Amino acid sequence: MDKEQKQEQKKKILNRLKRTEGQVRGIQKMIDEDKECIDVITQLSATRASIDRVMGIIVAENLKNCFENPTNDLQDQAKKIDQAIKMIVKK
């Protein structure tokens, strides 16, 4: 991945996080306004899904980078791949 692609990916991730931040503020407002529990939970679920998606994108890019740009140290490479897999499974 070249520098321009990395910048574009970073921009997409930051935009997603800004939308998620807006969702959280909306949830705070809903709670302040005593909105129905189901509505709050629905928005919390959407926010969690948004964060999970960002995590998935970051882990996938990291894993992709490991395969496209392997290090000379095979143990280090295996460790990085194992970490990425654990983050996916943990999710």
CA–CA dist 18, 76 (Å, integer): 34
- Percent of the chain at pLDDT > 70 equals 97
For residue range 32-76, list pLDDT tens digits in order.
999 999 999 999 999 999 999 999 888 888 888 878 888 888 888
State which residues form the domain around 79: 3-90
Cβ atoms of residues 16 and 55 within 8 Å: no
For residue range 7-38, list pLDDT tens digits in order.
999 999 999 999 999 999 999 999 999 999 99
Q: What is the average pLDDT value for the chain, to the nearest integer?
A: 89
CATH number reported for the structural domain that contains residue 50 in this entry: 1.20.58.1000
Q: How many domains does the chain have?
A: 1
